[in-house]
Amino acid sequence: MIAEPSNRLATETSPYLLLHATNPVDWYPWGGEAFDAARRLDKPILLSVGYSTCYWCHVMERESFADVATATVLNDAFVCIKVDREERPDLDEQYMQAVQLLTGSGGWPMTVMLTHDLKPFYGGTYYPPDQLRRVVAALSDVWRNDRERLLASAEELTTAMARGGRPAAVDGDMLTQDDIASALDRMLADQDSVHGGQRGAPKFPQDMADALFIAAWQHGGRDELLAAALRSLDAMALGGIHDHVGGGFHRYSTDGMWAVPHFEKMLYNQAGLLRAYADAAAATGSWWYRQIARDIVGFVRRELTDGETGAFLTALDAETDGREGLYYLWSPAEMAQILGGQADRFAAAFRTTDVPDHHAPRGRDPRPGVLSLVCSPATPAVASDLGGLCAQLLAARDRRPRPLTDDKVLCAWNGLMAGALAHAGWLLDEPDWVAVAERSVAFVLARLRDGEGRLLHQWRLGQAKQAAFLDDYAALANACLDLWLATGDARWRVEAAGLASEMTQRFAAEDGAFHGADAEATDLLLRSKPMFDNAMPCGNSLAADLLYRLARYDEARRTVATLAPLARRYPHGLANLVRVALTGDPANSTASGSARHVHASVRSIDDGVLELRVRLTPGYHVERLSLRTADGELVPVVSDEGSGLRLRATLPRRPESQDLWLSAQVCGDGACLPESTLRFRVISGS
């Protein structure tokens, strides 16, 4: 893989580690060889954590780790270890907690100094080479001359990490309806009333919060919930965080208006946003949200799917030729040359926002910028016309030097993406999406296994390795349940149940909820419980969702109850758990009836005529069903599709938007459940 390697990373499979394989830094991968060397040489450990699509990780590699003078200082003072955070999310979470306790913030690249027993005593993020050399020299002096003080500091920090990494033992108090209502109120209070999402900058997609808002509104919540979700989804769809030319979304926006992104494109973002846009399309019938969902799927199938295996790849890099975002930027002259006489029409629909370029020659004007839509297309025909112009730009962009693709296959990320595809394909009547999801899950189940058949975390270059984590099991099992619902094939439920049983055996904590890593992980300083959602749902909320869906209610409630005190205090950080409690637990009135087994989507098929597709959990059937608007009962034409129903009805009047209520009672598993009602909002022209 690497000609004439200069360090031990050359035999690794991680694209991120391989980027550092020719550094003059004497890198070790995480493991016993490095730990033994630190003890033998009596040196502390410098741990550097990043990922392959991180722009500032690339900058630090070029400035510091590829620099001979800096490498000499590092090699003399430390045993240096490089970790790909996507390969070892447990290490990343553990030491990021240390950095946040030390500095009040965090990020990547992450730089942490450790004792021989892996306890952190100093940490930060990106360091320019001069600063890095000064820090290393100072810490090396303390290690030699005042080690006891340094070791005492490491003990104090480790104690603080242990307190923060273990929530209090389960107190038996579930998230009640009042708790959920309070959580929603607090989350709404944090929303940006103009641009959507949380206030301030940078802005990260809040797909878990948007999905929660939509679900709460559909189950009887107030209108502000739906408005908050749609405001966020609309603003992202228009902004530069959305790749209008190639599809999909960048990781986050550097500003408060979704205009200028941080340009890496991560698989997990596509998964979360596909679910959110599919839910919005199903709840409103909006063709625009369906179009954004198709846009995400098109990008993932084209650029983040391995053609040979069907598995989903991890991410696309942010930079090309050392410049962040260069691949995605356009100047007016370039667009005019490509689009010719259509350029004016394109310019009327899209604006460009300048992206700071510290490497460009002075006086170059205008600089290329990132595209944003001025407003949502008025009709599908207008969107199709703009899509044709974007396709011309995409053909030209494909001839540019491409960003690096991190082509490793991660179990949890594949589970999230496959689950989103199955869910969206089911809701929006896109069977091809379900088939794509099936192929990915089949590959992961077959190939990400060890010699004893246990699940593994990742695969690349024909090698599967690293024991799976909690979120690997939970995300993959939830994807199997999504496939069961989408296809009716019982084998997927069997797979989900098997994974859930193995998950509880390997990760369950005696005092409630689940550990992130299993008990056989011997190279961790602490065995903590994942508690908060980040860019992805946390492992414990995924586990609770899985257990509710498998009707393992006691285990699910124990998990939710363990994290409930945190959810009451920090609801935005546990949005997925709040959604799970809202929609999954029959003890909550919202989820006590038939609604848990009824999944429906609405769309307008003609002027004044709407269609609802109603899908049921396999094994359930509709006993009674009604459809009404504020004007009264509708009498739909009902078609039985075997796995569900298709309803068509004519609206008595056609305002700009109209609410619709679907009430249903379903029976199955030897009982009929109480009637439940789902709410929809049919938007005129959708």
| Residues 90/524, Cβ–Cβ less than 8 Å | yes
| Distances from the Cα of 71 to the Cα of 33, 132, 194, angstroms | 20, 10, 48
User: How many of the other CB atoms lie within 10 Å of CB of 181?
Assistant: 14
φ/ψ of 539, rounded to 5, equals -60, -35
Residue 362, pLDDT score: 42
Residue 356, pLDDT score: 75
DSSP 3-state of 72: helix
Taking Cα atoms as reference points, which of 680, 666, 572, 549 lies closest to residue 619? 666
Residue 42, pLDDT score: 98
Structure tokens at 62: 């070029």
Q: Span 283-306, mean pLDDT? A: 97
Taking Cα atoms as reference points, which of 297, 258, 287 lies closest to residue 383? 287
Answer positive or negative: Cα dihedral of 555, 561, 563, 567: positive
Residue with tokens 């990742």: 458
- How far apart are the C-alpha atoms of 278 and 273, rounded to whole Å? 8
**Which pTM does this prediction carry?**
0.95
| Residues 503/473, Cβ–Cβ less than 8 Å | yes
Taking Cα atoms as reference points, which of 58, 2, 52 lies closest to residue 404? 52
User: How many of the other CB atoms lie within 10 Å of CB of 113?
Assistant: 24
Instruction: Indicate if the pLDDT at residue 678 is higher than 50.
Output: yes
Report the C-alpha dihedral over residues 29, 30, 33, 34, rounded to 10 degrees.
90
φ/ψ of 22, rounded to 5, equals -105, 10
DSSP 3-state of 267: helix
326: DSSP letter = G
Residues counted in the chain:
686
pLDDT digits (tens, 9 = 90+) for 358-378: 544 444 445 689 999 999 999
Residue 30, pLDDT score: 98
Q: What is the mean pLDDT of the chain?
A: 93
pLDDT digits (tens, 9 = 90+) for 40-67: 999 999 999 999 999 999 999 999 999 9
Concatenate the DSSP letters of all residues of 98-161 into one string.
HHHHHHS---SSEEEEE-TTS-EEEEES---HHHHHHHHHHHHHHHHH-HHHHHHHHHHHHHHH
Range with the lowest mean pLDDT among 182-191, 193-202, 257-266, 649-658? 649-658
| Residues 572/187, Cβ–Cβ less than 8 Å | yes
273 or 643: which leads in pLDDT: 273
- How far apart are the C-alpha atoms of 666 and 593, rounded to whole Å? 9
Q: Looking at beta carbons, which pairs linking 378-387 to residues 24 or more positions away fall under 8 Å?
A: 378/685, 379/685, 380/287, 380/291, 383/288, 383/291, 386/346, 386/349, 386/350
Structure tokens at 656: 């700009």
Instruction: Indicate if the pLDDT at residue 635 is higher than 70.
Output: yes
Burial class (CB in 10 A: 0-12, 13-18, 19+), 449: middle
- How far apart are the C-alpha atoms of 501 and 520, rounded to whole Å? 17
- How far apart are the C-alpha atoms of 84 and 506, rounded to whole Å? 24
Residue 656, pLDDT score: 72
Instruction: Indicate if the pLDDT at residue 168 is higher than 90.
Output: no
Residue 289's contacts (CB-CB under 8 Å, 6 or more residues apart) are 233, 277, 278, 280, 281
Residue 357, pLDDT score: 64
592 or 424: which leads in pLDDT: 424
Answer positive or negative: Cα dihedral of 19, 22, 24, 26: positive
Cis peptide before 401 (omega within 30 of 0): no
Structure tokens at 155: 């003990």
| Residues 614/664, Cβ–Cβ less than 8 Å | yes
| Residues 471/542, Cβ–Cβ less than 8 Å | yes
- How far apart are the C-alpha atoms of 459 and 54, rounded to whole Å? 20
